[in-house]
Protein backbone atom coordinates (compact mmCIF):
# COMPACT_ATOMS: atom_id res chain seq x y z
CA UNK A 1 0.00 0.00 0.00
CA UNK A 2 0.99 3.62 -0.39
CA UNK A 3 2.08 4.13 3.22
CA UNK A 4 4.30 1.04 3.31
CA UNK A 5 5.79 1.81 -0.09
CA UNK A 6 6.58 5.37 0.98
CA UNK A 7 8.30 4.08 4.12
CA UNK A 8 10.49 1.74 2.05
CA UNK A 9 11.47 4.54 -0.34
CA UNK A 10 12.49 6.83 2.51
CA UNK A 11 14.53 4.05 4.14
CA UNK A 12 16.39 3.52 0.86
CA UNK A 13 17.04 7.24 0.42
CA UNK A 14 18.44 7.42 3.95
CA UNK A 15 20.76 4.52 3.15
CA UNK A 16 22.12 6.41 0.15
CA UNK A 17 23.07 9.21 2.52
CA UNK A 18 24.96 6.78 4.78
CA UNK A 19 22.10 6.54 7.23
CA UNK A 20 21.52 3.07 8.64
CA UNK A 21 17.73 3.16 8.61
CA UNK A 22 15.95 0.82 10.95
CA UNK A 23 14.29 -2.26 9.42
CA UNK A 24 11.52 -3.11 11.85
CA UNK A 25 8.80 -1.52 9.75
CA UNK A 26 10.16 -3.22 6.64
CA UNK A 27 10.32 -6.65 8.26
CA UNK A 28 6.93 -6.44 9.95
CA UNK A 29 3.93 -5.48 7.85
CA UNK A 30 1.89 -2.86 9.69
CA UNK A 31 -1.85 -3.12 8.96
CA UNK A 32 -3.43 -0.26 7.04
CA UNK A 33 -5.70 0.18 10.04
CA UNK A 34 -2.77 1.07 12.33
CA UNK A 35 -0.02 3.65 12.66
CA UNK A 36 3.37 2.78 14.17
CA UNK A 37 5.32 5.66 15.70
CA UNK A 38 8.87 4.84 14.61
CA UNK A 39 11.74 7.20 13.86
CA UNK A 40 13.54 6.89 10.53
CA UNK A 41 16.29 9.38 11.30
CA UNK A 42 19.55 9.99 9.46
CA UNK A 43 22.97 10.95 10.74
CA UNK A 44 23.34 14.75 10.74
CA UNK A 45 19.56 15.30 10.67
CA UNK A 46 18.59 18.21 12.88
CA UNK A 47 15.43 19.96 13.98
CA UNK A 48 14.93 23.17 15.93
CA UNK A 49 11.93 23.32 18.25
CA UNK A 50 10.25 26.07 20.26
CA UNK A 51 8.71 25.24 23.62
CA UNK A 52 6.20 27.53 25.29
CA UNK A 53 5.28 26.77 28.89
CA UNK A 54 2.79 28.43 31.20
CA UNK A 55 1.23 27.76 34.58
CA UNK A 56 -1.68 30.03 35.46
CA UNK A 57 -4.38 30.33 38.10
CA UNK A 58 -7.89 31.58 37.36
CA UNK A 59 -10.09 32.68 40.24
CA UNK A 60 -13.27 34.77 40.03
CA UNK A 61 -12.38 35.92 36.54
CA UNK A 62 -8.87 37.05 37.52
CA UNK A 63 -5.86 35.37 35.92
CA UNK A 64 -2.53 35.08 37.72
CA UNK A 65 0.58 33.90 35.86
CA UNK A 66 2.71 31.79 38.17
CA UNK A 67 5.22 30.75 35.54
CA UNK A 68 5.73 31.40 31.83
CA UNK A 69 8.70 31.00 29.49
CA UNK A 70 9.74 30.20 25.94
CA UNK A 71 12.80 28.21 24.91
CA UNK A 72 14.30 27.19 21.57
CA UNK A 73 16.44 24.08 21.32
CA UNK A 74 18.10 21.97 18.65
CA UNK A 75 17.98 18.16 18.34
CA UNK A 76 20.84 16.73 16.25
CA UNK A 77 21.41 13.11 15.20
CA UNK A 78 25.13 12.48 15.67
CA UNK A 79 25.14 8.77 14.80
CA UNK A 80 22.84 6.09 13.42
CA UNK A 81 23.41 2.35 13.95
CA UNK A 82 21.38 -0.85 13.76
CA UNK A 83 20.71 -0.54 17.51
CA UNK A 84 19.47 3.04 17.49
CA UNK A 85 20.58 6.65 17.42
CA UNK A 86 22.85 9.03 19.25
CA UNK A 87 21.50 12.55 19.59
CA UNK A 88 22.22 15.89 21.22
CA UNK A 89 19.87 18.37 22.87
CA UNK A 90 21.41 21.83 22.36
CA UNK A 91 19.88 24.96 23.98
CA UNK A 92 19.46 27.84 21.53
CA UNK A 93 17.48 30.60 23.27
CA UNK A 94 15.46 31.18 26.43
CA UNK A 95 13.00 33.94 27.29
CA UNK A 96 11.03 34.13 30.53
CA UNK A 97 7.98 36.28 31.05
CA UNK A 98 8.20 39.33 33.29
CA UNK A 99 4.67 38.44 34.38
CA UNK A 100 5.88 35.33 36.21
CA UNK A 101 5.96 35.60 39.99
CA UNK A 102 9.22 36.82 41.57
CA UNK A 103 10.48 33.42 42.73
CA UNK A 104 9.98 31.84 39.31
CA UNK A 105 11.61 34.82 37.56
CA UNK A 106 14.74 34.53 39.71
CA UNK A 107 14.96 30.76 39.25
CA UNK A 108 14.37 30.97 35.50
CA UNK A 109 17.01 33.66 35.01
CA UNK A 110 19.69 31.70 36.86
CA UNK A 111 18.80 28.33 35.34
CA UNK A 112 18.69 29.71 31.80
CA UNK A 113 22.09 31.33 32.32
CA UNK A 114 23.46 28.00 33.52
CA UNK A 115 21.81 25.67 31.01
CA UNK A 116 22.71 27.67 27.88
CA UNK A 117 26.15 25.99 27.85
CA UNK A 118 24.97 22.47 28.76
CA UNK A 119 24.54 20.01 25.90
CA UNK A 120 22.61 16.85 26.74
CA UNK A 121 23.83 13.75 24.89
CA UNK A 122 21.30 10.93 24.74
CA UNK A 123 20.60 7.67 22.94
CA UNK A 124 17.45 6.05 21.58
CA UNK A 125 16.63 2.52 20.50
CA UNK A 126 15.95 1.61 16.86
CA UNK A 127 12.39 2.95 17.16
CA UNK A 128 13.34 6.33 18.55
CA UNK A 129 12.57 5.76 22.24
CA UNK A 130 14.97 7.56 24.58
CA UNK A 131 17.21 5.06 26.38
CA UNK A 132 20.07 6.79 28.19
CA UNK A 133 21.48 10.20 29.04
CA UNK A 134 25.11 9.60 28.15
CA UNK A 135 26.63 12.59 29.95
CA UNK A 136 24.29 12.75 32.95
CA UNK A 137 27.19 12.93 35.43
CA UNK A 138 28.59 15.97 33.65
CA UNK A 139 25.15 17.61 33.78
CA UNK A 140 24.80 16.68 37.47
CA UNK A 141 28.12 18.32 38.35
CA UNK A 142 27.28 21.51 36.46
CA UNK A 143 23.87 21.68 38.09
CA UNK A 144 25.44 21.41 41.56
CA UNK A 145 27.28 24.65 40.91
CA UNK A 146 24.25 26.25 39.29
CA UNK A 147 21.83 25.35 42.07
CA UNK A 148 24.13 26.90 44.66
CA UNK A 149 24.32 30.11 42.63
CA UNK A 150 20.56 30.15 42.14
CA UNK A 151 19.96 29.76 45.88
CA UNK A 152 22.48 32.53 46.61
CA UNK A 153 20.45 34.91 44.44
CA UNK A 154 17.05 33.66 45.60
CA UNK A 155 17.71 33.94 49.33
CA UNK A 156 19.56 37.25 49.13
CA UNK A 157 16.69 38.75 47.12
CA UNK A 158 13.92 37.35 49.35
CA UNK A 159 15.40 37.24 52.88
CA UNK A 160 12.23 36.02 54.65
CA UNK A 161 12.14 32.93 52.42
CA UNK A 162 14.52 31.15 54.78
CA UNK A 163 11.89 31.35 57.54
CA UNK A 164 9.43 29.47 55.35
CA UNK A 165 11.69 27.16 53.35
CA UNK A 166 15.15 26.77 54.90
CA UNK A 167 17.82 27.11 52.24
CA UNK A 168 19.56 23.87 53.18
CA UNK A 169 16.38 21.83 52.68
CA UNK A 170 15.58 23.53 49.38
CA UNK A 171 19.13 23.14 48.07
CA UNK A 172 19.31 19.47 49.08
CA UNK A 173 15.93 18.74 47.49
CA UNK A 174 17.00 20.35 44.21
CA UNK A 175 20.34 18.53 44.24
CA UNK A 176 18.54 15.21 44.74
CA UNK A 177 16.64 15.82 41.51
CA UNK A 178 19.91 15.65 39.54
CA UNK A 179 21.66 12.96 41.60
CA UNK A 180 20.78 10.06 39.25
CA UNK A 181 20.51 9.46 35.52
CA UNK A 182 16.74 9.10 35.90
CA UNK A 183 16.56 12.46 37.66
CA UNK A 184 18.53 14.17 34.89
CA UNK A 185 16.30 12.48 32.29
CA UNK A 186 13.18 13.77 34.04
CA UNK A 187 14.63 17.29 34.06
CA UNK A 188 14.76 17.11 30.24
CA UNK A 189 11.01 16.51 29.95
CA UNK A 190 11.12 17.80 26.36
CA UNK A 191 12.62 14.44 25.34
CA UNK A 192 9.61 12.52 26.62
CA UNK A 193 7.22 14.99 25.00
CA UNK A 194 8.95 14.51 21.63
CA UNK A 195 9.87 10.82 21.71
CA UNK A 196 7.67 9.34 24.45
CA UNK A 197 5.24 7.63 22.04
CA UNK A 198 7.89 6.13 19.75
CA UNK A 199 7.74 2.35 19.55
CA UNK A 200 3.96 2.24 19.98
CA UNK A 201 1.32 0.98 17.57
CA UNK A 202 -2.03 2.82 17.42
CA UNK A 203 -5.28 1.84 15.72
CA UNK A 204 -6.51 4.45 13.26
CA UNK A 205 -9.84 6.01 14.13
CA UNK A 206 -11.75 7.25 17.15
CA UNK A 207 -12.02 5.41 20.45
CA UNK A 208 -13.42 5.91 23.93
CA UNK A 209 -12.69 3.85 27.03
CA UNK A 210 -12.36 3.83 30.81
CA UNK A 211 -9.12 2.97 32.60
CA UNK A 212 -7.13 4.00 35.68
CA UNK A 213 -4.27 6.43 36.33
CA UNK A 214 -2.32 5.82 39.55
CA UNK A 215 -5.35 4.02 40.94
CA UNK A 216 -7.84 6.79 40.07
CA UNK A 217 -10.63 6.32 37.49
CA UNK A 218 -9.93 7.92 34.12
CA UNK A 219 -12.12 8.33 31.04
CA UNK A 220 -10.30 8.69 27.70
CA UNK A 221 -11.36 9.71 24.20
CA UNK A 222 -8.80 9.47 21.41
CA UNK A 223 -8.45 10.09 17.68
CA UNK A 224 -5.58 8.75 15.56
CA UNK A 225 -5.07 9.29 11.85
CA UNK A 226 -3.21 10.85 8.94
CA UNK A 227 -3.24 14.64 8.67
CA UNK A 228 -4.05 16.69 5.54
CA UNK A 229 -1.37 18.59 3.63
CA UNK A 230 -2.04 22.23 4.51
CA UNK A 231 1.33 23.59 3.39
CA UNK A 232 3.00 21.86 0.43
CA UNK A 233 6.42 23.12 1.49
CA UNK A 234 6.20 21.86 5.05
CA UNK A 235 3.69 18.97 5.14
CA UNK A 236 3.76 15.48 3.64
CA UNK A 237 1.04 13.02 2.62
CA UNK A 238 1.82 10.52 5.36
CA UNK A 239 2.17 12.87 8.33
CA UNK A 240 -0.02 11.75 11.20
CA UNK A 241 -1.34 12.78 14.60
CA UNK A 242 -2.50 11.32 17.90
CA UNK A 243 -5.11 13.30 19.84
CA UNK A 244 -6.52 12.44 23.24
CA UNK A 245 -8.54 13.88 26.08
CA UNK A 246 -8.62 12.27 29.51
CA UNK A 247 -10.62 13.10 32.62
CA UNK A 248 -9.22 11.74 35.88
CA UNK A 249 -11.30 11.89 39.05
CA UNK A 250 -9.28 12.45 42.24
CA UNK A 251 -10.62 12.97 45.81
CA UNK A 252 -9.98 16.49 47.16
CA UNK A 253 -8.06 15.19 50.18
CA UNK A 254 -5.70 13.18 47.95
CA UNK A 255 -4.93 16.25 45.81
CA UNK A 256 -4.27 18.27 48.96
CA UNK A 257 -2.07 15.61 50.54
CA UNK A 258 0.03 15.36 47.38
CA UNK A 259 0.61 19.12 47.37
CA UNK A 260 1.38 19.28 51.09
CA UNK A 261 3.70 16.30 50.79
CA UNK A 262 5.80 17.94 48.09
CA UNK A 263 5.90 21.28 49.91
CA UNK A 264 6.71 19.62 53.21
CA UNK A 265 10.05 18.45 51.87
CA UNK A 266 11.28 22.06 51.80
CA UNK A 267 9.27 23.84 54.52
CA UNK A 268 10.19 24.34 58.15
CA UNK A 269 8.83 21.68 60.49
CA UNK A 270 6.67 24.26 62.27
CA UNK A 271 5.03 25.49 59.06
CA UNK A 272 4.59 21.98 57.72
CA UNK A 273 2.90 20.93 60.99
CA UNK A 274 0.69 24.02 60.88
CA UNK A 275 -0.52 23.20 57.37
CA UNK A 276 -1.15 19.58 58.38
CA UNK A 277 -3.20 20.76 61.39
CA UNK A 278 -5.36 22.91 59.10
CA UNK A 279 -5.80 20.10 56.55
CA UNK A 280 -9.48 19.52 57.43
CA UNK A 281 -10.27 23.24 57.25
CA UNK A 282 -8.70 23.45 53.79
CA UNK A 283 -10.63 20.38 52.58
CA UNK A 284 -13.89 21.81 53.94
CA UNK A 285 -13.20 25.17 52.28
CA UNK A 286 -12.56 23.62 48.87
CA UNK A 287 -15.54 21.25 49.19
CA UNK A 288 -17.84 24.16 50.07
CA UNK A 289 -16.77 25.96 46.90
CA UNK A 290 -17.28 22.90 44.69
CA UNK A 291 -20.52 22.65 42.68
CA UNK A 292 -23.10 20.73 44.74
CA UNK A 293 -20.47 20.07 47.39
CA UNK A 294 -18.62 17.55 45.21
CA UNK A 295 -15.81 15.73 47.00
CA UNK A 296 -13.79 14.97 43.87
CA UNK A 297 -11.73 17.09 41.49
CA UNK A 298 -11.69 16.37 37.77
CA UNK A 299 -8.30 16.75 36.11
CA UNK A 300 -8.68 17.26 32.37
CA UNK A 301 -5.68 16.50 30.18
CA UNK A 302 -5.77 17.52 26.50
CA UNK A 303 -2.94 16.14 24.35
CA UNK A 304 -1.93 16.45 20.72
CA UNK A 305 1.09 14.77 19.12
CA UNK A 306 1.83 15.42 15.45
CA UNK A 307 4.56 13.63 13.48
CA UNK A 308 6.13 13.81 10.05
CA UNK A 309 5.95 10.63 7.94
CA UNK A 310 9.48 9.65 9.07
CA UNK A 311 8.71 9.86 12.78
CA UNK A 312 10.26 13.24 13.47
CA UNK A 313 8.02 15.13 15.92
CA UNK A 314 6.10 17.98 14.38
CA UNK A 315 4.11 19.40 17.28
CA UNK A 316 3.32 18.42 20.87
CA UNK A 317 0.62 20.01 23.00
CA UNK A 318 -0.24 19.06 26.58
CA UNK A 319 -2.64 20.98 28.78
CA UNK A 320 -3.77 19.99 32.26
CA UNK A 321 -6.77 21.73 33.81
CA UNK A 322 -7.77 21.15 37.44
CA UNK A 323 -10.99 22.82 38.59
CA UNK A 324 -11.27 23.02 42.35
CA UNK A 325 -14.39 25.11 42.99
CA UNK A 326 -12.51 28.29 43.85
CA UNK A 327 -11.11 28.43 40.33
CA UNK A 328 -8.85 26.56 37.94
CA UNK A 329 -5.17 25.71 37.67
CA UNK A 330 -4.02 25.41 34.08
CA UNK A 331 -0.62 24.09 33.01
CA UNK A 332 0.23 24.17 29.31
CA UNK A 333 3.22 22.87 27.35
CA UNK A 334 3.42 23.48 23.60
CA UNK A 335 6.37 22.35 21.46
CA UNK A 336 6.46 23.00 17.71
CA UNK A 337 9.14 22.69 15.07
CA UNK A 338 10.50 25.91 13.60
CA UNK A 339 13.35 24.64 11.37
CA UNK A 340 14.51 21.31 9.97
CA UNK A 341 17.53 20.03 8.10
CA UNK A 342 17.14 16.53 6.66
CA UNK A 343 19.68 14.97 4.31
CA UNK A 344 17.15 13.85 1.74
CA UNK A 345 15.13 17.10 1.64
CA UNK A 346 16.75 20.00 -0.21
CA UNK A 347 16.50 23.27 1.72
CA UNK A 348 14.13 25.85 0.28
CA UNK A 349 15.65 29.33 0.18
CA UNK A 350 12.52 31.19 1.13
CA UNK A 351 11.75 33.42 4.10
CA UNK A 352 8.91 31.81 6.06
CA UNK A 353 7.08 33.55 8.87
CA UNK A 354 7.11 30.40 11.02
CA UNK A 355 8.41 27.13 9.59
CA UNK A 356 11.46 26.69 7.43
CA UNK A 357 13.19 23.83 5.71
3-state secondary structure 230-281: CCCCCCCCCCEEEEEEEEEEEEHHHHHHHHHHHHHCCCCHHHHHHHHHCHHH
pLDDT at res. 346: 44
Does the pLDDT value for residue 24 go beyond 50? no
Statement: the pTM of the whole predicted model exceeds 0.85: no
Q: What is the 3-state secondary structure (H, E, C) of 118-133?
A: CCEEEEECCCCCEEEE
- Residue range 30-39: mean pLDDT, rounded: 87
Distance CA 145, CA 149 (A): 6
What percent of the chain clears pLDDT 90, i.e. is strictly above it?
Answer: 49
Biggest CA–CA distance in the chain, Å, is: 68
Q: Where are the domains of the chain?
A: 2-341
Ranking 163-177, 235-249, 304-318, 341-355 by mean pLDDT, the lowest is 341-355
Mean of all residue pLDDT scores within the chain: 81
Q: How many helices (H) and strands (E) does the chain have?
A: 11, 13
292 conformational bin, left if phi > 0, alpha if psi -120 to 50, beta if neither: left
Instruction: Count other Cβ atoms within 10 Å, centred on residue 141.
Output: 12
Does the pLDDT value for residue 97 go beyond 60? yes
Distance CA 186, CA 128 (A): 17
Distance CA 57, CA 54 (A): 10
**What angle do the packed helices 252-264 and 279-289 form, to 10 degrees?**
140
**Tens-place pLDDT, residues 159-192:** 888 888 888 888 888 899 899 999 999 999 999 9
pLDDT band for position 339 (cuts 50, 70, 90): very high
Burial class (CB in 10 A: 0-12, 13-18, 19+), 18: exposed
**Tens-place pLDDT, residues 48-87:** 999 999 999 898 778 888 888 899 999 999 999 889 999 9
pLDDT at res. 276: 54
**Tens-place pLDDT, residues 257-296:** 665 445 444 444 544 455 555 666 666 666 666 676 678 8
- Residue range 143-153: mean pLDDT, rounded: 86
pLDDT band for position 199 (cuts 50, 70, 90): very high
Task: Give buried/exposed letters for 63-81 (b at 16+ CB in 10 A, else e).
Answer: eeeebbbebbbbbbbeebe
CB 96 within 8 A of CB 52: no
Query: Which residues make Cβ contacts (< 8 Å) with residue 10, sequence separation at least 6?
Result: 21, 40, 309, 310, 344
Residue 123: strand pairing partners: 86, 132
In Å, how far are 38, 125, 127, 172 from 19, measured between CA atoms?
15, 15, 14, 44
Highest mean pLDDT among 25-34, 92-101, 280-289: 92-101
Instruction: Count other Cβ atoms within 10 Å, centred on residue 215.
Output: 7
Instruction: Count other Cβ atoms within 10 Å, centred on residue 119.
Output: 14
Amino acid sequence: MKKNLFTIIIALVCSIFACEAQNLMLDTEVPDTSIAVIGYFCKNDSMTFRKTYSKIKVEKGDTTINDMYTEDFLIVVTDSTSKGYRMKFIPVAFDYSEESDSIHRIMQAKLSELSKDIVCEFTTDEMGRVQNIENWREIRDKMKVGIKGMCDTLYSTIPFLNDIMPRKQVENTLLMMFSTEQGVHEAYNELDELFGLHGNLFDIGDSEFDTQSNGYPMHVTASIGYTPVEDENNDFDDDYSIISKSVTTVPIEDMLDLGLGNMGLMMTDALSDSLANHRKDMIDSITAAMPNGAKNINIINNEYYGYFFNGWPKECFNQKVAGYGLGERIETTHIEWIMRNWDFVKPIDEDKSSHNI
